[in-house]
Amino acid sequence: MNDYATRAGTPAASTGQVVRRRLVDLATGALGAAIVIALLVGAEWAVEIADYILPENLDQYGIRPHDVNGLSGILFAPFLHAGFGHLMANTVPLAILGFLAALRGLGRFTLASLIIIVVSGAGVWLISPPGITLGASGLVFGYFGYVVTRGLFDRHPLDIALGVGVAVLYYSLIEGVLPGQPGISWQAHLFGLVGGVIAAWTLRRRKRAVTPG
């Protein structure tokens, strides 16, 4: 009787442990994502405040298309903004989409961010007209593309649900990849979106091959 009860109770206990472990992992991931995004957004604001206070104009370090000396702006541009109004417009979508992008692991999020920054910046450098391009909107569009397509490549139910929700809530972002909005770098938006999809594909979780014995 006792032996049967022990054996019968084991699967239920194991299932409970798995559920608790997954909940703990989810909570830990959410906390880590929140901290990283808070640091990212804080860095964006710290740079803009420094640009406002310091005599040197930091905006000059943005991307300067077709100029070899402007290539370094690819890394700097996402942290520079043309005033606090520009930064405020990017802050909320950056925080929300960045948080969702970071939920599945900070390592993948870091690599995805680098891919998005490079692809978006390279696209701006190659095809934008002369001038200086800056702002975190390339990251915003990149995280949008990353979150929407990540579930399709990973075939993960939670990521698919998140992707559908983000696509429904932020579908209007797609208009930003089209030319015609004065003063807006559609190039950064378009290539940021492309970078997000590339990141989702590159960082997808590959299933291990199973060889029959």
Tens-digit pLDDT profile for residues 84-93: 999 999 999 9
Query: 153 with 132: CB under 8 angstroms?
Result: no
Residue 158 forms part of a structural domain:
yes
Q: Where are the alpha helices (DSSP H) in the chain?
A: 2-53, 73-76, 84-102, 106-127, 137-154, 157-169, 186-202
Q: What is the CATH number of the domain that holds 57?
A: 1.20.1540.10
Low-confidence winner among 69-78, 150-159, 189-198 (lowest mean pLDDT): 150-159
Is 209 within a domain? no
Contact 196, 143 (CB under 8 A): yes
Inside any domain, residue 25: no
Choice among 23-32, 63-72, 80-89, 101-110 with the minimum mean pLDDT: 23-32
User: Rounded to the nearest 5 degrees, what angle is found at the Cα of 41, between the Cα atoms of 39 and 42?
Assistant: 60
pLDDT for 210 = 41
First to last CA, the chain: 38
CA 33, 103, 96: angle at the middle one, nearest 5?
Answer: 70
Q: What is the pLDDT of residue 15?
A: 67
- Pull the structure tokens for residue 80: 């520079």
Task: Supply the pTM of this predicted model.
Answer: 0.83
- Total domain count for the chain? 1
Q: For residue 77, give its domain range.
A: 36-202
In a domain, 194, yes or no: yes
Q: How many Cα atoms within 13 Å fall on the side-chain side of residue 16? A: 5
123 in a structural domain: yes
